[in-house]
């Protein structure tokens, strides 16, 4: 059965979690940034703008300075390096100097002896502004009469940060061949990351440099930002990741800003400085999923063959670029979906507005367009009188097909198998009959079934190929245990378990003898950012490379120890070939190597396969490999209240070889829940550039009462030759597919078409009533 988990896998995963707890206790370390404390530590608070767009006329901090517990105040003039937090572009200041561009933008920093004192003092600041015209809607901001928001050096034209295109074939010709054409406009709003602990960092001065401790995804991003702001070489900035309870992209770029703020206070005061947001500040001032307006036009022949798609979409980037150009590019590449379409035209825009800057979020620009293209597929199926699963089956990409960017798929395309397996597990035809029978019987409730199929480019892709690399170091200790060092972070996704498994399998060691080193930029190699579902694939290959090199050395030592020509190694035991009765623990070989001064460590390196891209046409090999999924959701709608709930859910994924089925199922289950929230309930309203009620009281996320009692989760494995043991990425794909399946199920149940997220009861009732 797909839900069944092997006992051995359960023991491996459980032991890994217990090992992490035990390690924290043995070292006597706090597990989260908010638990850490250093002697003489200051608490940092940002003084923030209350205006969406204004010129700063006067910053009066005299009353702040007079507060008895304020030790340090930092304004732009106090920044020893550059007043820029570099991400992709260099447009976002650490502290606004002349103009503020969004509500909540930092203007100055306070270091006080307690958190409460810092908050009190921040409220004493007086700022005089000259208000400037503000714009909050991306379509309006892209117009020629809009006030200038974007820093000109970071924008292509006006407030348009980036305009990207795909041009494949001739869409005019394609639509001329179409028997049926559907069009639609779709809107999505913000989505909040809702990670467990809010953003938090501590900066500690060290001799000639500084150390940063924080919850984060990308330590080397943080190192670069802090070095830039302090004017230090990278070698003088040490970054240590502490326990991170989820990131979902929200801890990719934002920790660089927090770390730089804490660092300048620590640098000026000469004392440790701690900056930990409360939930309200975190939600009000940090990045979100980009709101978007998406327009689609799709054409097909009578037999369901897709012939053309034309897409135009606008993402609200907020006041600064942050990661928007990369988010937009991924949305662009995925806009046509996982289908064979000969004629494709896509125009994608990221636009600056006077709102909080948006950034990375699980799926990274693709969920917005997936909502639209999967809605279009269901609308086409309805117009053609065709089963929506069958329409996807006929058009799904296969080996030998070309993507919308003209990339030839030569291996590892498991989407057709995923569709068949999802149909089998859900008993598709019986399920449809059950739903029809329920809807005939029930006057006040109605059920619907929704399908989605998606593809996901693994890794950084042709937008940032220089980041798709990883280093690793694997060391055999003298007692036979193994230490693995990589620069990728654990944040709940199971990376420490999977990377340990890869090392253990390649080295012939027991999993329980393998330990991942804590992530500290002075101790681990740069393995690239922990983003884009790349850790297993790219960092895993680096670990595999190092472990194989080390194994060859261990086998050579064992041959000398046994005075034989061939040895075998498995489960941390070594023996002469065909003589298992002579087996000795790996520890014995390790002690021999140590005593004879052998090198007991090995470095590994990996990089993504070559990619290429023509920005003028949007054609090229966008990613080195893709993962795929097919999701099916059954939803029940209350026709009187508009409430919708997901009753049952089936998810089938192709992520190549699944290294650890249990943690993989956890990833899928979590992504489904996050997608249900995106589709049904997560709404964060903004008025005049200010987020309304940024708290979990008003912003609802799914609880155990909002998800099905059980998911049916399975995998079809289409191995990728460039991944460790054939593995590909998984982490982001479940969210990408789940929300669209839920949205299509709601449309089927209401017999209307959901065109805006989230499907709160008011919107669902409007669909029921045909509005």
Cα separation, 634 vs 681, in Å, equals: 17
Neighbours of 408 (CB within 10 A): 10
Selection from 389, 263, 326 nearest residue 623 by Cα: 326
> Which residues of 189-236 form beta strands (DSSP E)?
200-206, 209-214
Query: What H or E segment, with its residue span, contains residue 243?
Result: none
Cα separation, 88 vs 533, in Å, equals: 19
Neighbours of 564 (CB within 10 A): 15
Selection from 339, 337, 359, 313 nearest residue 186 by Cα: 313
CA angle 177, 178, 183 (to 5 degrees): 140
Query: What H or E segment, with its residue span, contains residue 544?
Result: helix 540-562
CA dihedral 751, 757, 763, 765 (to 10 degrees): 40
**Order of strands, sheet of 601-607, starting from the edge strand that comes earlier in the sequence:** 514-516, 482-486, 469-476, 601-607
Catalytic residue among 732, 753, 755, 763: 732
Cα separation, 337 vs 366, in Å, equals: 9
Token couple for 548: 């194989």
The interaxial angle of helices 324-334 and 366-384, nearest 10 deg, is 20
What phi and psi values does residue 281 have, to the nearest 5 degrees?
-65, -40
What phi and psi values does residue 521 have, to the nearest 5 degrees?
-60, -15
Token couple for 649: 């859910």
- The set of residues, in sequence order, having a beta carbon less than 8 Å from that of 205 and lying 6+ positions away, is 266, 267, 270, 271, 272
The overall longest dimension of the chain from CA atoms, in Å, is: 84
Q: Is 346 helix (H, G, I), strand (E, B) or coil?
A: strand
Cα separation, 243 vs 213, in Å, equals: 10
Catalytic residue among 45, 238, 289, 330: 330
Q: Which residues share a beta bridge with 611?
A: none
Cα separation, 402 vs 425, in Å, equals: 29
732 catalytic residue (yes or no)? yes
Neighbours of 732 (CB within 10 A): 25
- The set of residues, in sequence order, having a beta carbon less than 8 Å from that of 578 and lying 6+ positions away, is none
Q: Is 451 helix (H, G, I), strand (E, B) or coil?
A: strand
Is the preceding peptide bond at 541 cis, omega within 30 degrees of 0? no
Give yes or no for a contact between 620 and 614, defined as CB atoms under 8 angstroms apart: yes
> Which residues of 254-369 form beta strands (DSSP E)?
273-276, 292-300, 306-318, 343-352
Cα separations (Å) of 568 from 178, 504, 574, 735? Answer: 62, 14, 6, 43
560 catalytic residue (yes or no)? no
| Burial readout 653-677 (b: 16 or more C-beta within 10 A, e: otherwise) | bbbbbbbbbbbbbbbbbbbbbbbbb
Residues with catalytic function: 330, 732
């Amino acid at each position: 059965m797909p839900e069944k988990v092997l006992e051995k896998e359960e023991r491996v995963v459980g032991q890994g979690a217990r090992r992490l707890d035990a390690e924290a206790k043995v070292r006597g370390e706090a597990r989260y940034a908010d638990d850490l404390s250093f002697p003489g530590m200051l608490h940092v608070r940002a003084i923030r703008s209350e205006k969406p767009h204004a010129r700063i006329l006067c910053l009066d901090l005299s009353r702040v300075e007079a507060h008895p517990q304020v030790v340090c105040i930092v304004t732009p003039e106090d920044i020893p390096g550059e007043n820029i937090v570099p991400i992709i572009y260099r447009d976002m200041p650490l502290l606004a100097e002349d103009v503020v561009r969004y509500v909540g933008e930092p203007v100055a920093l306070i270091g006080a002896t307690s958190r409460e004192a810092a908050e009190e003092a921040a409220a004493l600041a007086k700022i005089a502004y000259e208000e400037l015209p503000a714009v909050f809607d991306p379509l309006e901001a892209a117009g020629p009469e809009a006030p200038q928001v974007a820093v000109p050096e970071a924008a292509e034209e006006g407030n348009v940060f980036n305009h990207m295109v795909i041009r494949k074939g001739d869409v005019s010709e394609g639509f001329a061949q179409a028997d049926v054409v559907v069009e639609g406009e779709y809107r999505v709003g913000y989505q909040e990351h809702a990670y467990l602990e809010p953003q938090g960092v501590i900066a500690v001065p060290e001799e000639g440099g500084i150390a940063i401790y924080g919850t984060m995804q990308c330590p080397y991003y943080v190192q670069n930002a802090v070095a830039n702001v302090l004017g230090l070489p990278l070698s003088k900035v040490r970054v240590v990741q502490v326990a991170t309870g989820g990131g979902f992209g929200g801890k990719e770029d934002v920790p660089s800003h927090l770390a730089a703020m804490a660092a300048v206070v620590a640098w000026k005061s000469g004392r440790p400085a701690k900056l930990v947001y409360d939930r309200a500040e975190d939600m009000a001032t940090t990045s979100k999923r980009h709101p978007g307006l998406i327009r689609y036009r799709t054409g097909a022949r009578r037999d369901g063959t897709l012939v053309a798609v034309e897409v135009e979409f606008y993402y609200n980037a907020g006041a600064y670029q942050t990661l928007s150009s990369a988010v937009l590019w991924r949305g662009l590449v995925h806009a046509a979906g996982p289908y064979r379409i000969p004629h494709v035209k896509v125009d994608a825009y990221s636009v600056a507005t006077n709102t909080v800057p948006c950034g990375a979020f699980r799926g990274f620009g693709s969920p917005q367009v997936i909502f639209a293209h999967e809605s279009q597929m269901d609308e086409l199926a309805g117009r053609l009188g065709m089963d929506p699963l069958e329409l996807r089956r006929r058009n799904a990409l296969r080996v030998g097909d070309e993507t919308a960017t003209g990339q030839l798929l030569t291996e590892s395309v498991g989407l057709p198998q995923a569709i068949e397996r999802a149909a089998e597990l859900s008993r598709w035809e019986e399920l449809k009959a059950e739903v029809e029978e329920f809807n005939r019987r029930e006057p006040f409730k109605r059920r619907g079934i929704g399908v989605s199929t998606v593809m996901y480019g693994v890794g950084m892709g042709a937008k940032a190929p220089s980041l798709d690399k990883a280093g690793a170091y694997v060391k055999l200790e003298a007692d036979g245990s193994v230490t693995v060092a990589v620069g990728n972070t654990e944040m709940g996704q199971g990376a420490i378990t999977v990377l340990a498994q890869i090392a253990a399998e390649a080295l012939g060691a027991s999993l329980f003898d393998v330990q991942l080193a804590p992530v500290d930029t002075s101790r681990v190699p740069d393995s690239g950012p922990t983003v884009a579902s790349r850790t297993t694939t790219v960092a895993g290959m680096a670990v595999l490379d190092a472990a194989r090199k080390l194994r060859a050395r261990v086998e050579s030592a064992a041959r000398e120890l046994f005075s034989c020509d061939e040895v075998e190694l498995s489960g941390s035991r070594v023996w002469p070939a065909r003589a298992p009765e002579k087996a000795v623990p790996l520890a014995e070989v390790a002690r021999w190597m140590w005593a004879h001064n052998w090198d007991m460590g090995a470095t590994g390196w990996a990089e993504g396969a070559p990619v290429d891209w023509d920005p003028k046409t949007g054609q090229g090999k966008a990613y080195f490999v893709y993962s795929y999924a097919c999701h099916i959701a059954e939803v029940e709608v209350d026709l009187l209240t508009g409430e919708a709930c997901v009753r049952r859910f089936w998810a089938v994924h192709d992520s190549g070889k699944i290294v650890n089925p249990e943690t993989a199922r956890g990833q899928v289950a979590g992504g489904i829940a996050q997608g249900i929230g995106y589709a049904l309930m997560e709404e964060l309203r903004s008025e005049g550039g200010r987020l309304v009620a940024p708290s979990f009281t008003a912003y609802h996320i799914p609880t155990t009462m909002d998800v099905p009692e059980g998911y049916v989760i399975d995998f079809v494995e289409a191995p990728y030759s460039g991944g460790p043991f054939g593995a590909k990425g998984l982490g982001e794909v479940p969210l990408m597919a789940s929300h669209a399946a839920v949205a299509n199920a709601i449309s089927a149940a209401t017999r209307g078409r959901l065109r805006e997220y989230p499907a709160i009861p008011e919107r669902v009732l409007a669909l029921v009533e045909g509005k």
